[in-house]
Amino acid sequence: MLVLRLLNVVAPAYFLCISLVTFVLQIFVFIPSMFRDPSTTPLFSPALLHGALFLFLSANALGNYVLVIQSSPEDLGKDLNLGKGAEVADWLDGSRSPVSALPSTHFCRLCARVTQRHDHHCFFTGNCIGSRNMRNFIMFCLYTSLACLDSLVAGMAYISATLSMSFADPLAFLTLLPHSISQFFSGALLSSEMFVILMLYLWLGIGLACAGFCCHQMLLILRGQTRYQVRKGMVVRARPWRENLQEVFGKKWLLGLLIPVLNVESNYRRQKEK
């Protein structure tokens, strides 16, 4: 439990550190290197367009990241009838399920809250993912993946120009790291260049991981399930996939693709208002 709490603090700091390093490399290293002659560079140069694209992806990734943290799932422990003598700790092993509780409610040890439509606890945001912030979490994974892959392409272009090498051969990227390590220890490679090469593999790993997680999460949404329901073997009522999508993304789904906006309200809140 202590390790999980420590990870809950370290993981967000690690993500923010990687984001800061990526931003500095893109703005102050990669993008300026694309300008051959600033005095003759047209207004809509590839460097400026790439910079605008990177800022758009970064703003959406960080914006949705903040909304995931701020839009915490509701604490149902205050509103649910847990019964006489019942403690919130009784939820730990799933042995208690109050009659007034809605499906897929779950007590999180780290958040110390009973949340509705619990999906999982995200250590990189330090928050539970539920009905209120699921859409923002999906957008966060999507734009983080795109920002990492964009940085990967820009970094490869920078390394290609700096080291005068070509990535036309697919094996060139796979053999880049072992060759770079040998050149670094022999003194033929600068520390800054070696750092950028290490970041290339880090961006590739984070980008593919976020893309895979986003696709897996979308598949569960289309089925109307959460990861918690799948893990517990819960049976969900079959509904059309359009209703499942609208429940998570709402009617303003197109706006949520372009700018970070708050998620739709949870079913619990809507039923409570009725």
Q: CB under 8 Å to 193, separation ≥6 — which residues? A: 159, 162, 163, 180
Name the domain count of the chain: 1
pLDDT for 248-257, tens place per residue? 888 777 888 8
Residue 105 inside a domain? The answer is: no
Residue 147 inside a domain? The answer is: yes
176/38: higher pLDDT: 176
Give pLDDT, residue 231: 86
Q: Is the pLDDT of residue 264 over 60?
A: no
Give pLDDT, residue 178: 92
The pTM (predicted TM-score) of the whole model is 0.84
Q: Using pLDDT thresholds of 50, 70 and 90, give the confidence band for residue 94.
A: very low
Residue 274 inside a domain? The answer is: no
Residue 80 inside a domain? The answer is: no
Q: Using pLDDT thresholds of 50, 70 and 90, give the confidence band for residue 180.
A: very high
Identify the domain containing residue 264 by its residue range: 1-36+43-73+137-268
Question: Catalytic residue positions?
Answer: 122
Q: CB under 8 Å to 202, separation ≥6 — which residues? A: 18
Q: Is the pLDDT of residue 31 over 80?
A: yes
Residue 124 inside a domain? The answer is: no
Q: Using pLDDT thresholds of 50, 70 and 90, give the confidence band for residue 42.
A: low
Q: CB under 8 Å to 114, separation ≥6 — which residues? A: 75, 76, 77, 80, 88, 91, 101, 105, 106, 107
Average pLDDT over residues 21-43: 77
Residue 251 inside a domain? The answer is: yes
Give pLDDT, residue 74: 59
Average pLDDT over residues 175-179: 91
Residue 273 inside a domain? The answer is: no
90/217: higher pLDDT: 217
Residue 20 inside a domain? The answer is: yes
Q: Is the pLDDT of residue 174 over 80?
A: yes
